């Protein structure tokens, strides 16, 4: 069965002389469409970001170096756009690391703004967690060390986290994927190699001259009218009639998506933010907020050669609509291949933390204050204030409450992986039943999550992953245990850097 997209629905309404008066592709809630018309969806070839090689490796550690710099790149066909990129590309290079190998990542700041580097999904020691005030100033560098030994294989991502600046820095390009793999995961007969594909979704808005427009709509959200995947607008991917694994990340600043296939066929979810699920879950669609990752299998053997399958974005409320925003990318089934990959019925043994294990419950109300500032329990960011102090290895339930119906808040906890107990008293979506670090708190939703605070003492941030909200000011911190390493204790150093 073919779905009717919102765009088609609007066209039908217009033809029927309906009262739906949205001029398609022009204005919606004051958002202007700019470069959208200059690129036809599904005409630009799909690609994946390059994989970054270590500069050197020894018996325990791989050493990587990334320079943050301005560059002009082609995003819209035939035009160039100035970005602020990790190694000058959009998005940054993919890092693939093995569990239990140490990564030392050197970040050099050749931009003219402060940056801070956060590896989202990693259990990091406080001084390497990308604390929002632990800046790498222009002309400085910092070496970040990650053990990769706490969580399972998972899709992480690295992105900027500079206080009040992260939405701008990430919008201009500072984001990339970081994949941790381990023996257990690699032993599964899942699609591998050329059939294991990063899919980084980001919306952007461009001026007629190709430059990026950053408009945060009076500190509410940055909405683009061009959907990019791995830096390509609405790409077209040629696939064989076999299974593929897609590591999907929503790296957008403010836009969430509802993913579905144009054929109406189900998506097979095998992993959440923090690694594989216990068993694959089939679902007709997935709600994907900023910062969330889902690992998907799509089996193209269902389709005849010559079939086009679109990855669509079904309508979500409070999400600025432009023409073609309901499309993400397409797959053209162009060749026949044998497929020895299998999606096992059991992917891994997942521990579900029982509610009874929690020693306390904390309440967090996420809202917009009367002065317009986005806050948690009425407060914005204050480096000298701590809002929760779980002890090491304690289990807590955090109730995340959004009492408004005008905005949604993907809430992210640093340091730990957690699980959703319920949303508005109902079980989470079946595809959310794994370890996660971002929790979609939709309009009028109350989400309860349970997690164990472990591996490092110290101060860690939690915040909304709409980076416009995060920047002003929906971010706070918790302190695990007593003491711990000061997040500001390993400051960036001036260039030139010694050899890595």
List, in order, residues 6 or more apart from 212 with CB less than 8 Å away.
Answer: 81, 82, 83, 171, 172, 204, 205, 206
For ligand C2O, the binding residues in 286-305 under the rule CB under 6 A are 291
Which of the listed partners (Cu ion, ligand C2O, none) does 463 bind, with a CB threshold of 5 to 8 Å by partner kind? ligand C2O
Q: Which residue is nearest to ligand C2O (CB)?
A: 120
Query: Considering only CA atoms, which of 457, 410, 477 is closest in space to residue 437?
Result: 410
Minimum distance, C-beta of residue 106 to Cu ion, in the bound complex (Å): 20
Report in angstroms how near the CB of residue 422 gets to ligand C2O at its nearest: 24
Does position 118 interact with ligand C2O (CB under 6 A)? The reply is: yes
| Residue (293 or 414) nearer to Cu ion, CB | 414
Q: Which of residues 155-194 bind ligand C2O (CB under 6 A)?
A: 159, 161
Report what 243 binds from ligand C2O, Cu ion, none; CB cut-off 5-8 Å by kind.
none
CA–CA separation, 8 and 453 (whole Å): 47
Tell me whether the omega of the peptide bond preceding residue 70 falls within 30 degrees of 0, making it cis: no
Partner interacting with residue 409 (select from Cu ion, ligand C2O, none; CB below 5-8 Å by kind): Cu ion
Which residue in 102, 115, 123 sits closest to 70, CA to CA? 115
Q: Which residues of 250-285 are buried (b: 16+ CB within 10 A; e: fewer)?
A: bbbbbbbbbbbbbbebebbbbbbbbbbbebbbebeb
Q: Please say which residue, 142 or 409, places its beta carbon nearer to Cu ion.
A: 409
Task: Count the residues of the shown chain that bind ligand C2O, applying the rule CB under 6 A.
Answer: 10
Whether 327 and 314 have beta carbons less than 8 Å apart is answered as: no
* Residues in 460-479 at the binding interface with ligand C2O, rule: CB under 6 A: 461, 463, 465
Q: Which stretch binds ligand C2O (CB under 6 A): 94-102, 265-273, 376-384, 459-467?
A: 459-467
How many C-beta neighbours within 10 Å does residue 118 have? 24
> Which residues in 189-228 contact ligand C2O (CB under 6 A)?
none
Strand partners, 480: 458
Neighbour count for residue 73 (Cβ, 10 Å):
15
Inter-residue contact 279 to 250 (CB < 8 Å): no
Nearest-approach distance from CB 408 to Cu ion, in angstroms: 7
Q: With contact defined as beta carbons under 8 Å apart, do 28 and 337 qualify?
A: no
Return the number of the residue (247 or 348) whose C-beta is nearest ligand C2O.
247
Q: Which does 469 bind (CB under 5 to 8 A by kind): Cu ion, ligand C2O, none?
A: Cu ion
Closest to Cu ion by CB, 191 vs 451, is 451
Question: To which residue do tokens 């970054």 refer?
Answer: 52
Nearer to ligand C2O, 191 or 410 (CB): 410
Q: How far is the CB of 472 from Cu ion (least distance, A)?
A: 10
Distances (CA, A) of 101 to 57, 96, 104, 187, 417: 10, 11, 10, 18, 20
Beta carbon nearer to Cu ion, 327 or 436: 436
Pick between residue 153 and residue 175 the one whose CB is nearest to ligand C2O.
175
Between CA 373 and CA 1 the distance in angstroms is 44
Cβ closer to Cu ion: 242 or 414?
414
Question: Applying CB under 6 A, which of residues 3, 7, 409, 412 lies at the interface with ligand C2O?
Answer: 412
Out of Cu ion, ligand C2O, none, which partner does residue 436 contact, by CB within 5 to 8 A per kind? none
Q: Smallest distance from the beta carbon of 177 to ligand C2O, in angstroms?
A: 12
How long is the chain? Answer: 500
Pick 254 or 324: Cβ nearer ligand C2O: 254
Piece of the chain touching ligand C2O by CB under 6 A; list 70-78, 199-207, 305-313, 457-465: 457-465
Residues that bind Cu ion (CB under 5 A): 120, 409, 414, 464, 466, 469
Min CB(380)–Cu ion separation in Å: 12
Looking at beta carbons only, is 142 or 161 nearer to ligand C2O? 161
Q: 229 is written with which tokens?
A: 């995947």
CB closer to Cu ion out of 414 and 436: 414
d(CA 199, CA 47): 9
Nearest approach, Cβ of residue 326 and Cu ion (Å): 23
Residue 464: name its binding partner from ligand C2O, Cu ion, none (Cβ under 5 to 8 Å by kind).
Cu ion
Supply the minimum distance, in Å, between the C-beta of residue 349 and ligand C2O: 27
Query: Using the rule CB under 6 A, which residue among 414, 433, 436, 448 binds ligand C2O?
Result: 414
User: Positive or negative, the Cα torsion across 177, 275, 130, 253?
Assistant: positive
Per-residue tokens: 311: 């990855």
Q: State which residue, 251 or 358, has the beta carbon closest to ligand C2O.
A: 251
Nearest distance in Å: CB 414, ligand C2O? 6
- The interface partner of residue 204, options being Cu ion, ligand C2O, none and the CB cut-off 5 to 8 Å by kind, is none
In the complex, the residues that contact ligand C2O under the rule CB under 6 A are 118, 120, 159, 161, 291, 412, 414, 461, 463, 465
């Amino acid at each position: 069965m073919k779905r009717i997209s919102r765009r088609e629905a609007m066209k039908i309404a217009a033809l029927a002389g309906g009262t739906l008066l949205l001029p398609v592709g022009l204005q919606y809630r004051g958002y202007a469409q700019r470069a959208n018309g200059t690129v036809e969806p599904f005409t630009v070839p799909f690609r994946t970001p390059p994989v970054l090689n270590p500069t050197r490796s020894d018996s325990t550690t791989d050493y990587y170096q990334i320079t943050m710099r301005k560059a002009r790149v082609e995003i819209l066909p035939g035009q160039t756009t100035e970005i602020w990129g990790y190694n000058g590309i959009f998005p940054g290079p993919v890092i693939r690391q093995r569990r239990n190998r140490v990564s030392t990542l050197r970040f050099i700041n050749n931009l003219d703004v402060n940056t801070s580097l956060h590896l989202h999904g990693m259990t990091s020691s406080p001084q390497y967690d990308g604390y929002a005030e632990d800046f790498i100033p222009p002309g400085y560098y910092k070496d970040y060390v990650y053990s990769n030994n706490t969580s399972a294989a998972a899709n992480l991502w690295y992105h900027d986290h500079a206080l009040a600046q992260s939405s701008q820095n990430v919008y201009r390009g500072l984001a990339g994927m970081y994949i941790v793999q381990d023996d257990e995961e690699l032993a599964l007969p899942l699609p591998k190699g050329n059939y294991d594909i990063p899919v980084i979704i980001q919306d952007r808005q461009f001026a007629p001259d190709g430059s990026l427009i950053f408009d945060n709509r009076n500190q509410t959200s940055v909405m683009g009218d061009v959907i990019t995947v791995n830096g390509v607008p609405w790409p077209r991917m040629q696939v064989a009639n076999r299974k593929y694994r897609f590591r999907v990340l929503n790296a957008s600043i403010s836009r969430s998506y509802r993913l579905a296939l144009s054929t109406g066929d189900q998506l097979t979810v095998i992993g959440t933010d923090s690694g594989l699920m216990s068993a694959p879950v089939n679902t007709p669609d997935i709600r994907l907020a900023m910062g969330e990752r889902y690992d998907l299998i799509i089996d193209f053997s269902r389709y005849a050669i010559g079939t086009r399958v679109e990855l669509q974005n079904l309508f979500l409320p409070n999400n600025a609509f432009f023409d073609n925003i309901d499309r993400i990318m397409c797959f053209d089934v162009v060749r026949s291949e044998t497929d020895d990959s299998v999606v096992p019925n059991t992917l891994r043994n997942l521990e579900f933390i029982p509610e009874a294990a929690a020693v306390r419950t904390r309440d967090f109300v996420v809202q917009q204050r009367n002065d317009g500032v986005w806050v948690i329990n009425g407060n914005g960011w204050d480096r000298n204030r701590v809002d929760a102090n779980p002890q090491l290895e304690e289990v807590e339930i955090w109730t995340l409450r959004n009492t408004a119906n005008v905005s949604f808040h993907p809430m992210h906890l640093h340091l730990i992986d957690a699980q959703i107990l319920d949303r508005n008293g109902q079980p989470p979506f079946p595809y959310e039943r794994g370890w996660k670090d971002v929790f979609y708190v939709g309009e009028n939703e109350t989400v309860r999550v349970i997690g164990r605070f472990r591996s490092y003492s110290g101060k860690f941030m939690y915040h909304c992953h709409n980076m416009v909200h995060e920047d002003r000011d929906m971010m706070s911190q918790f302190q695990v245990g007593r003491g711990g390493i000061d997040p500001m204790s390993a400051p960036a150093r001036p260039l030139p850097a010694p050899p890595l």
